[in-house]
A and B are shown apart, each in its own frame.
Chain A
Amino acid sequence: MGLFDKLKGALQKTKDVLRTDVRDLFKAGVILDEPKLEEFQKGLITTDMGVSASNQIVEDLRKKYLGRTMVLDEVWGTVKERLRIILVGKGDVAWDSKNPLSPLKLAESGPTVILVCGVNGVGKTTSIAKLAKLLTKSGKKVVLAAGDTFRAAAVEQLTMWAKRLGCEIVTKPSGSDPASVAFEGCDRAVTTGADVVIIDTAGRLQTHQNLMQELGKIHRVIGKRIPGAPHESLLVLDATTGQNGLSQASKFSDAANCTGLVLAKLDGTAKGGIVVAIREQMGIPVKYVGVGEQIDDLELFSPDDFVDALFSEG
């Protein structure tokens, strides 16, 4: 039997295992042994939280319950608690679930500037449109700045969203200096008395140093026009991203001092577990999650719901 055939068998089994809930794996009254821990770790790994975070959780369980009869609620509680501790961090990010703007640091006076960055195709532009919708719904006047002057029709894309939202947009011809678009966006917000300006940037891989320097320049220029800005520097991550998300978070933070994450495309089967690793290792909190391609498909991040979803079937 070739490796491929073996794998197909193994995968069939995985499918079945994932169908059964974690609760089945840790049935009350059964003794917790190493094979069960390994099976559970596999579940953790498939969320993309990484080897290190999953080791921590499994180690918790091993210490507390190995060789003992399981009480489901206790085991489950331990797992959730560990994840909650990681995701909530020092409690500096507890926001009000009734106020969708509560994760955002707004300027005390003058316009709030939100810079949005990330690697290619993760969902930056769409997330900006969704965020603008949240803001306008709360009565804020929003200006968009089309800072992606590189990708084909990126300006047109953001312009179409601006039209749908009925909010103002600042654009420059394709190939213009993105920092100058950002500057002008801030400028427009100040002169028109807008509450928030959101700046789109071109997708870039974190290893392209010239492009990361360009992002750093955008960040600096914004601060020159509006002291203290950007008030939020959001890194958008694709929920399907694997361990490379760590490198993204680290290098984008170096260039643009990221204050929060937007986890887009969480409506697929990917669990977005990489944010657990990022929160654990870099402390950057998740602020919003994207759950679809439409304008209202943005939700406040909730550690509890997220932890529940990590173990749901999908």
Chain B
Amino acid sequence: MFEGITNALTDVLGSFRGQLTESNIRDGMGKVRNALLEADVAYDVAKAFCDRVVEEAVGEKVLKSLRPEQQIVGIVFQELVNLMGPVDHSIEVRRGETTVLMMCGLQGSGKTTTCGKLARMLKEQGAKPMLVAADLQRPAAIEQLKVIGEQIGVPVYSEDPAKSNPVQVCVNGRKAAGQQGCNLLILDTAGRLHVDDALMKELQEIDNKLMPHQCLLVCDAMTGQDAVKSAAAFNEALELDGVIFTKLDGDTRGGAVLSVKEVTGVPIKFVGMGEQLDKLEPFHADRMAQRILGQGDVATLLETA
């Protein structure tokens, strides 16, 4: 299963030996499409991608080049990289004001953990972060953020959930940050479904009141075909500034990464590579393209093609 795309590409190459025609290119790309689907690339993204590669591959230049097969594999890889870029890891923390980051996403995607990871990373870069426990819903969500805050030596602002609401916690959190000389505020919001209108409105309200410098969507990299739907809905509600994919330390092929980037146009900023708070890495489009393509080393494939 994990060799899917590599195999597909090899098949493609096989079918290209000898005569290269539009029809055998199409056949080969059909296999690539299936392999992309097995990596959880969204159906329409996979289809459009393959159509596009066919279009480019049947171009004069490719067919008449010395090694057309090699060119086609190159196109597949390069297109994937292009689609997931350009990469933008920036999170600017300004002096003299409080930079606000808001995290949002589906239940269990990794928001609270990622708040901690970001705070830790930006603290190392000289920021003075404060975490805000704006999830008043999930049992022990506040406790969880407090434990994380303690682990990284970052203050956590929270209120009694029975007497407060998420918007109020965020507003008061910003005041507290000002008073304690913190210049970076990271809001941990409750997990919610993109189809839950009431909870999506609540997020928009926080967005309107706090005007965060960046709204970041936290997304589980194991998500299947539904990833595009939820990401598009969050983007529509909040105009996202970035996406962070978590749980890439497993064996998911991570096609959701390509799909979400493609459908929302929002840059992928970081990837979560473990549960520990130092396991946050900048996103690299070329590594992700290799991963989606499978275990096989694309570079070698390109050489032997």
- Interface residues of chain A, those whose CB is within 8 Å of chain B, are 3-4, 6-7, 10-11, 14, 42, 45-48, 50-51, 119-123, 150-154, 156-157, 159-161, 203, 205-208, 238, 240-247, 265, 267-271, 273-274, 293, 314
Contacts and interface: CB of A to CB of B under 8 A. Distances in A.
A152 B1 contact: no
A244 B4 CA distance: 13
B137 interface: yes
A48 B225 contact: yes
Contact of B147 (A121, A152, A247, A314): A152
Interface string B251-283: 111011000001101000000000100000000
A207 B195 contact: no
Contacts of B225: 45-48, 242, 270
Contacts of B193: 265, 267-269
Contacts of B34: 51
A274 B1 CA distance: 14
Contacts of B15: none
Interface in B25-40: 34, 37-40
Contacts, number: 168
A242 B227 CA distance: 9
Interface stretch (B59-67, B101-109, B166-174, B176-184): B101-109
A50 B1 CA distance: 11
A286 B149 CA distance: 38
Contact of B253 (A14, A151, A244): A244
A3 B262 CA distance: 9
B52 interface: yes
Given A3-B52, A151-B275, A205-B247, A156 B226 contact: no
Contact of A153 (B40, B140, B223, B230): B140
Contacts of A267: 193
B126 interface: no
A109 to B, nearest CB: 34
Interface residues of B, number: 59
Contacts of B228: 11
Interface of B: 1, 34, 37-40, 42-45, 47-49, 52, 79, 83, 106-110, 112, 137-141, 143-148, 151, 193-195, 220, 222-230, 247, 249-253, 255-256, 262-263, 265, 275
Nearest to B108: A121
Contacts of A45: 37, 43, 225
B49 A153 contact: no
Contacts of A47: 225
Given A205-B250, A242-B256, 9 more contacts: A48-B224, A119-B247, A152-B112, A152-B147, A154-B140, A238-B220, A240-B224, A247-B252, A273-B224
Contacts of B45: 7
A205 B249 contact: yes
A274 B44 CA distance: 19
Contacts of A268: 106, 193-195, 226, 230
Given A3-B83, A4-B265, A10-B48, A242 B140 contact: no
Contact of B143 (A153, A270, A273): A153
Nearest to B227: A240
10 contacts: A48-B225, A121-B108, A121-B109, A206-B251, A208-B250, A240-B224, A242-B224, A243-B38, A244-B251, A271-B226
A242 B252 CA distance: 9
